[in-house]
Structure 1
Amino acid sequence: MAAAPEDLPPVGKTAVGVAALRALESRRPDRLFEDPYAGAFSVAGRAVLGGSDRPDGGLREVFAQQVAVRTRFFDDFVRGARQVVLLAAGLDARAFRLEWAAGTRLFELDLPDVLRFKDEVLDGAQPACERIEVPVDLRDDWGAKLVEAGFDAGVPTAWLAEGLLVYLEHAEAARLLEEVTRLSAPGSRVSFEHRPEGDADGLLQRAREVGGRVTQLWRGGLGSEAPDWLTRHGWHPETFTIKALATEYGRRPLDTSNGGFVIGTR
């Protein structure tokens, strides 16, 4: 049965808005990345966005630069890895739009309806690496299903949890990362968003003022303790702020908080 965008689960619907922001960035002459598939996802999701292929105006202003910087940062994070796992892959098109070395394997984990909708929109597009879908609820025993799909726990892996942990309770986020840790060979890396100021973070506060249904889904994830959690579990964390990255990428920073991203290395 075809997957209609309006039938996607609530968190899955947020991926449509993010795709619209990636499409906006891809149209800029000074774009930080190029995603030729983002426009198709956002147009296909018009039913989700109330008849528009643009995200909500308020959230667009809050998150446009954050999504642009995040996409570029995570593109750079996964480049060069030979085994990649996208946790809650959503409408991510890195398997198709990035250049990959021969033999690279990329696993996409997400809910079945999300992956089905994604495949229907891509409509036969060919990935540039070996792309393996793993339909799964990340609150369940996803690690076993990943291994069944061919994941090799003996190979250093790049784990990407983009836009995911904020939708999980603290205990759920911790369980997810404990499973990542269990499956990670030495040399593996993991990356996700990090807001060290927690609920006091300025960008999150502005988003809540205009975010409506999206921000109501937030559960906080690990909150401000991500680097400490990674250290306690055998990872070596390094943090990056959006404002510093925006400057590095040639943009005037619009997010003046200390929010950004963390990379943990085994």
Structure 2
Amino acid sequence: MRTDGDSWDINTSVGSTALFVAAARALGGRAADALVEDPFAELFVRAAGGEWAELLDGRVPAHPLLTPEFGIQFRQHQVARTRYFDDYAHAAAAAGIRQVVILAAGLDARAYRLPWPDGTVVYELDRPQVLEFKRETLEHAGREPIAERHEVPVDLREDWPKALCDSGFDPALPTAWLVEGLLIYLSSAAQDQLFDAIVSLSAPGSRVAIEQMDPLPAEVVAEMAEHDDAGSDWVRLIYNEPRGEVTEWFTDRGWTGERVYLTDYIRGIGRTPAADRSSISLVTAVRP
């Protein structure tokens, strides 16, 4: 169960979800018609070793990511979500934005794998242990970032805006913010505080891309919590509570926003949804 001062590294608590998602991207990217290929995802999973590496070689057949009832839809979810945020990053760069902030960056390797224009600076915020694992893994593999990459080791429950500015961030420049796979791990109050900070640090022309998830029915959460599996571990990490709808939150503050349900997004890019994921939506908001 989450507590106000809980902590984690890449193998525990919220940190381990980054490995789970990276494994889903690695497996989902193997399809011949994959929407996204992220070769860095496999580097991270293999660096974690143990069951994570065995999973990629098919030696853990009972793993949730390999099961037909969960694995197929979750892998599709992660690959489609990655495609959405990649396209968002491309559009931000095409609009002339050269300052990018990835909140709860986890094992996001966009600073390394996207074709950023010269002069692009990417700030990655996460706990020190997570950023250290990522940096050491990529250094060992001989990989160099394409953008100018700045690590900002900070817990988002702390004064992360100060840490970000101390790392060179310029609030006078338009910024592209990425908030992928984060909100469900924040309380409703913490979500509002995060958004307030984004708005206060965003110059005109800034934009933000966000994944949001509707609260699960209480009976679903109770049933998941009863089992001793990945699902029960996950529901103990999230804040399954009502919260403000992201598009409305930003439009109420003068931004323009567009929301698409994940299921509709998957159809829109020419794929058949493996399951109904209409509880999840993707939002892009722009400050005029």
- Normalised to the residue count of structure 1, the TM-score between the two structures is 0.88
Measure, in 2, the Cα distance between the counterparts of 1:67 and 1:229: 25
Measure, in 2, the Cα distance between the counterparts of 1:48 and 1:216: 22
Partner residue, 2:275 = 255
Measure, in 2, the Cα distance between the counterparts of 1:178 and 1:167: 17
Partner residue, 2:14 = 11
Relative distance call for 1:130 and 1:243 in structure 2 (3 A) is same
Relative distance call for 1:141 and 1:48 in structure 2 (3 A) is farther
Structure 1 ranges of 4+ moved more than 3 A: 5-9, 46-55, 203-210, 220-224
Relative distance call for 1:26 and 1:247 in structure 2 (3 A) is same
Q: Which string of whole-angstrom CA distances, capped at 9 and with x for unpartnered residues, describes residues 105-141 of structure 1? A: 1000000000001111112411111111100011000
Pair 1:139-2:157 in alignment? yes
Q: Which string of whole-angstrom CA distances, capped at 9 and with x for unpartnered residues, describes residues 211-255 of structure 1? A: 121222011476362222222333222101212221222210123
119-128 or 138-147, larger mean C-alpha shift: 119-128
Q: Which string of whole-angstrom CA distances, capped at 9 and with x for unpartnered residues, describes residues 76-117 of structure 1? A: 111213111000000011111110101011000000000001
- Contact kept in structure 2, 1:168 and 1:220, CA below 8 Å: no
Deviation of residue 62 (structure 1)?
4.1
Measure, in 1, the Cα distance between the counterparts of 2:170 and 2:264: 35
Relative distance call for 1:48 and 1:262 in structure 2 (3 A) is farther
Partner residue, 1:181 = 199
SS in 2 for 1:118: helix
Q: Say which one has the larger Rg.
A: 2
CA RMSD of aligned residues (A): 2.7
SS in 2 for 1:211: helix
Measure, in 2, the Cα distance between the counterparts of 1:255 and 1:85: 31
- Contact kept in structure 1, 2:176 and 2:206, CA below 8 Å: yes
User: Which residue, 24, 29, 33 being the options, matches 1:26?
Assistant: 29
- Normalised to the residue count of structure 2, the TM-score between the two structures is 0.82
42-51 or 248-257, larger mean C-alpha shift: 42-51
114-123 or 203-212, larger mean C-alpha shift: 203-212
- Aligned partner letter, 1:99: P
Q: Which structure 1 residue ranges, 5 or more long, are not aligned?
A: none
- Aligned partner letter, 1:212: S
User: Which residue, 33, 50, 56 being the options, matches 2:64?
Assistant: 56
- Contact kept in structure 2, 1:168 and 1:221, CA below 8 Å: no
SS in 2 for 1:198: coil
User: Which residue, 27, 35, 38 being the options, matches 1:35?
Assistant: 38
Relative distance call for 1:62 and 1:33 in structure 2 (3 A) is closer
Partner residue, 1:103 = 119
Partner residue, 1:227 = 247
203-212 or 250-259, larger mean C-alpha shift: 203-212
Partner residue, 2:286 = 265
Same amino acid, percent of matched pairs: 41
SS in 2 for 1:160: strand
Deviation of residue 51 (structure 1)?
5.6
SS in 2 for 1:120: helix
Measure, in 1, the Cα distance between the counterparts of 2:201 and 2:85: 21
Pair 1:83-2:99 in alignment? yes
Relative distance call for 1:97 and 1:187 in structure 2 (3 A) is same
183-192 or 219-228, larger mean C-alpha shift: 219-228
Q: Which string of whole-angstrom CA distances, capped at 9 and with x for unpartnered residues, describes residues 142-167 of structure 1? A: 00111111111111111001111100
Deviation of residue 176 (structure 1)?
1.0
Measure, in 1, the Cα distance between the counterparts of 2:243 and 2:189: 11
204-213 or 71-80, larger mean C-alpha shift: 204-213
- Aligned partner letter, 2:64: D
Measure, in 2, the Cα distance between the counterparts of 1:41 and 1:206: 32
46-55 or 68-77, larger mean C-alpha shift: 46-55
Measure, in 1, the Cα distance between the counterparts of 2:33 and 2:222: 28
- Contact kept in structure 2, 1:95 and 1:131, CA below 8 Å: yes
SS in 2 for 1:191: strand
- Contact kept in structure 2, 1:6 and 1:47, CA below 8 Å: no
Q: Which string of whole-angstrom CA distances, capped at 9 and with x for unpartnered residues, describes residues 28-81 of structure 1? A: 110111111111111222447596347634553441111011000000111213
